[in-house]
Amino acid sequence: MNSEEEKIVEAVNVSVKYGQTEAISGITIAIKPGDYIGIVGPNGSGKTTFVKAMLGLVPLSEGKFVFGVKPVKIGYLPQRTSALDPKFPASVSEVISHGLLSEKKFPRRINSADKRRIDEIASMLGIETLKNRNVGSLSGGQQQRVLLARALVNKPEIIILDEPTNALDPHIRENFYELLSKLNAETQTTILLITHDAGNIGNHARKFLYIDRKLIFFGSFNEFCASCEMTEYFGPYAQHYICKRH
Ligand code: ADP
Ligand code: MG
């Protein structure tokens, strides 16, 4: 296998502008199948913009994303601004099934293979007993799992999560991270996880992407830990607070 084949997606000199303002500029990275990447950066540094650009939700002003030879499905759990309405009228299995319907042609219906897949992903995420519950009545952590199930039900090769643990209690947060590690290990799903949790992500992800409008660092936590350039950028305290390697 040559290095070309090993990439699942590559960002090549990617820039995005909103009006005249450049939100991100000149980002080049190569992501490999099975990578688990923690994406960190200050507020407004362009993390959400970067993943939206990868998804095709915002246009690039420069550069391109190059995907591997096979068509790649991407699951997306967007940044949430508020909790679901408690009266939101859908059951857990209905919400998960939406992740399958979007791919179907008309008439859009759930068949028995779909039902088995919904059960499979619900049980992997530990929400199988909640299937008939109204999604609005669930706790924040349970709702996040339901939304993750919806994003995963059609077996995407890449899953992008934008600050999925913000609204969660610390112990539920650890639980959620464990789920992601299990998903990554068992199904080799490539994970891109945007997080504020710079002091914790090194315990879970294997690679680290730090952006502040441009690329500051991309590589393993070991490389981050050993980088003199990063010591200069962050100072030794912050560098080793992030790396979690010693
Ligand atoms: P992050 O996710 O790292 O907090 P964002 O990608 O959301 O950063 O935003 C990067 C910058 O682009 C910020 O200055 C933000 O205000 C700006 N921005 C984001 N979305 C839009 C938009 N739709 N229109 C104009 N400016 C935007
Ligand atoms: Mg954001």
1 pLDDT above the threshold of 60? no
Best of 15, 18, 60 to mutate for ligand 1, by most ligand atoms within 8 A of CB? 18
Q: Does residue 100's CB lie within 6 angstroms of at least one atom of ligand 1?
A: no
Question: Smallest Cα–Cα separation from 211: which of 31, 50, 8?
Answer: 50
Q: Does residue 41's CB lie within 6 angstroms of at least one atom of ligand 1?
A: yes
Domain spans of the chain, in order of start: 1-72+158-176+189-246, 82-156
User: b/e string for 130-167 if b means 16 or more Cβ within 10 A?
Assistant: bbeebbeebebbbbbbbbbbbbbbbebbbbbbbbbbbe
Mean pLDDT highest for which of 50-59, 118-127, 174-183? 50-59
Average pLDDT rounded to a whole number, residues 97-119 = 85
Mean pLDDT highest for which of 85-89, 114-118, 166-170? 114-118
pLDDT band at 5 (very low <50, low <70, confident <90, very high): low
pTM summary value: 0.93
| Rounded-to-integer distance, Cα 161 and Cα 74, Å | 11
211 pLDDT above the threshold of 80? yes
For ligand 1, atom 21, which residue shows the shortest CA distance?
18
Centre of ligand 1 to C-alpha 17, Å, is: 10
Q: DSSP E strands: which ranges in 99-222?
A: 158-162, 190-194, 207-212, 214-220
Average pLDDT rounded to a whole number, residues 156-182 = 89
Model confidence pLDDT, tens digit, residues 41-92: 999 999 999 999 999 999 999 999 999 877 889 999 998 766 677 777 899 9
Model confidence pLDDT, tens digit, residues 188-204: 999 999 998 899 999 99
pLDDT band at 130 (very low <50, low <70, confident <90, very high): very high
**Of ligand 1's atoms, which has the minimum distance to the CA of residue 43?**
4
**Of ligand 1's atoms, which has the minimum distance to the CA of residue 49?**
6
Rg of the chain over Cα atoms, rounded to whole angstroms, equals: 19
The pLDDT value given to residue 166: 81
Q: Does residue 43's CB lie within 6 angstroms of at least one atom of ligand 1?
A: yes
111/12: higher pLDDT = 12
Mean pLDDT (the chain, rounded): 91
Q: Does residue 209's CB lie within 6 angstroms of at least one atom of ligand 1?
A: no
Average pLDDT rounded to a whole number, residues 29-51 = 97
For ligand 1, atom 5, which residue shows the shortest CA distance?
46
pLDDT band at 132 (very low <50, low <70, confident <90, very high): very high
Q: Does residue 23's CB lie within 6 angstroms of at least one atom of ligand 1?
A: yes
Model confidence pLDDT, tens digit, residues 15-27: 999 999 999 999 9
Just give the CATH number of 1-72+158-176+189-246.
Answer: 3.40.50.300
Q: Does residue 45's CB lie within 6 angstroms of at least one atom of ligand 1?
A: yes
**Of ligand 1's atoms, which has the minimum distance to the CA of residue 211?**
3
For ligand 1, atom 16, which residue shows the shortest CA distance?
44
